[in-house]
Amino acid sequence: MAERFLRFTTAIFAGIVVASLAATAASHAAPEAGTSGDDEAVRRAKIAIKVGSRSVSVAELEDRLAEIPPFQAVTFGASRDEIVKAYVDQVIVRDLLLGAGAEQRKLDGELPTKHQLQRARSTATLRALRSGELKSPASIPAEDVQKFYEENRSRFDSPERVNLWRILCKTRDEALGVLAAAKKDLTIPKYNELAKAHSIDKATSFRGGNLGFVAPDGISNEAGVKVDPGLVKAAAAVKDGDLVPDLVPEGDAFAIVWRRATVPATRRSLEEATAQIRSTIYRERTEAQEKKLIEDLRAKHVRDVNADLLKIIVIPPFDAGLNLPRSTPRAPEPGPRDKQ
């Protein structure tokens, strides 16, 4: 074991020497003006660093250096040669050494390293997919933004909405009595009391008959709430804070309507909505690309999922904090083929 470790460290040390020499050579091998494309490709393909069985080309080194922000690059040195040498010694060689150490210990086959490598490959696949035509929301053409805006005007144009509190009574006589009581004491506590006692709309009666902010078509900003547009029309004749003076028919029932507040109509121009639209289109298209890629890969690579084995997978109990015993599912009984 000691001899093997000595051979390993010797090889690594030799790699570091090669790396340092190669990095120094690479730092003086800047392309000259007028260099042909083929010559440039050959130059970038040269191996600049070797550590054990691992290597880094000039192209890889240059690309990684190009991604470093200027404020960070100066922390490696004052000149190009200093920056390249320090970056190679402190970052590239260090990563290669630790990677070689991980391989020697076979960490790539153990959890959680194995899972982290799988996630890294998954992320790299998606990143490569997004580096195509759709590099960013800014890559969405203006004509696509215009089309989305025209087809989804309701997202950017919002009509005036009024906050209505409504008590719905089954009979006209009952409704007249409630209306008179509300006119006599138009306060929130009294209105809440009347709504609880008389409104047949039990979904809103315990919140004072509050319907939320209702648009002219009767649709409220409250999920699942839609009322007769006639309520909004009746409320349009009074100001915020006023009670509609007469009963408002609503189907076979009668409504007492209190207009509480108003949200004015809004309209966002194309220019104001462009950034949001580009982000929306970009998200929708990248999600569609990812979905198609996964479907294609699934059809090509997924051969079998053993449903019976999935049934006996043990996971931590959701109530683990209660120190309850974990139950282990029983394996399925072997079939005729399994007994042969």
Indicate if 90 and 177 belong to the same structural domain. no
The CATH number of the domain holding residue 221 is 3.10.50.40
pLDDT at 52: 81
Asked if pLDDT for residue 13 goes beyond 50, the answer is no
Domain interval for residue 76: 2-29+39-111
Indicate if 196 and 255 belong to the same structural domain. yes
Cα–Cα distance, 245 to 186 (Å, whole number): 12
Instruction: Flag whether 121 is in a domain.
Output: no
Asked if pLDDT for residue 123 goes beyond 50, the answer is yes
Indicate if 258 and 190 belong to the same structural domain. yes
pLDDT at 217: 93
Indicate if 144 and 283 belong to the same structural domain. yes
Indicate if 249 and 282 belong to the same structural domain. no
- Across residues 326-338, what is the average pLDDT? 56
Instruction: Flag whether 78 is in a domain.
Output: yes
pLDDT at 328: 55
Mean predicted lDDT score pLDDT of the chain: 84
> Which of 265, 156, 248 minimizes the C-alpha distance to 211?
248
Write 87-92 long-range contacts (CB < 8 A, 24+). 88/19, 88/20, 88/23, 88/48, 88/49, 88/61, 89/20, 89/23, 92/19, 92/49, 92/56, 92/61, 92/64
Asked if pLDDT for residue 222 goes beyond 60, the answer is yes
- Across residues 35-51, what is the average pLDDT? 86
Answer for the pair 79, 5: CB distance below 8 angstroms, yes or no: no
Cα–Cα distance, 109 to 330 (Å, whole number): 28
Residue predicted with more confidence, 247 or 17: 247
Q: Which two tokens stand for residue 2?
A: 């000691």
Indicate if 97 and 173 belong to the same structural domain. no
> Please, which pLDDT band fits residue 8 given cuts at 50, 70 and 90?
very low
- Across residues 241-251, what is the average pLDDT? 96
| Size of the chain, expressed as the number of residues it contains | 340
Indicate if 190 and 230 belong to the same structural domain. yes
Instruction: Flag whether 132 is in a domain.
Output: no
Query: Could you please report the per-residue DSSP string of 147-191?
Result: HHHHHTHHHHEE--EEEEEEEEESSHHHHHHHHHHHHHS-SHHHH
Domain end marker among 264, 288, 310: 264
Domain end marker among 248, 264, 280: 264
Instruction: Flag whether 75 is in a domain.
Output: yes
| Tens-place pLDDT, residues 101-118 | 888 888 888 888 888 888
pLDDT at 276: 94
Indicate if 257 and 167 belong to the same structural domain. yes
What percent of the chain stands above pLDDT 90?
A: 54
Count the domains in the chain. Answer: 3
Instruction: Flag whether 43 is in a domain.
Output: yes
Q: Report in angstroms the alpha-carbon separations of 247 from 162, 173, 177, 214.
A: 18, 11, 11, 18
Indicate if 147 and 229 belong to the same structural domain. no
Cα–Cα distance, 260 to 22 (Å, whole number): 77
Indicate if 17 and 93 belong to the same structural domain. yes
Instruction: Flag whether 198 is in a domain.
Output: yes
Of the listed ranges 16-25, 97-106, 154-163, 310-319, the least confidently predicted one is 16-25
pLDDT at 23: 43
Instruction: Flag whether 313 is in a domain.
Output: no
> Please, which pLDDT band fits residue 94 given cuts at 50, 70 and 90?
very high
pLDDT at 191: 97
Instruction: Flag whether 274 is in a domain.
Output: yes
pLDDT at 38: 85
Q: Which two tokens stand for residue 224?
A: 């699942």
Q: Which pTM was predicted?
A: 0.51
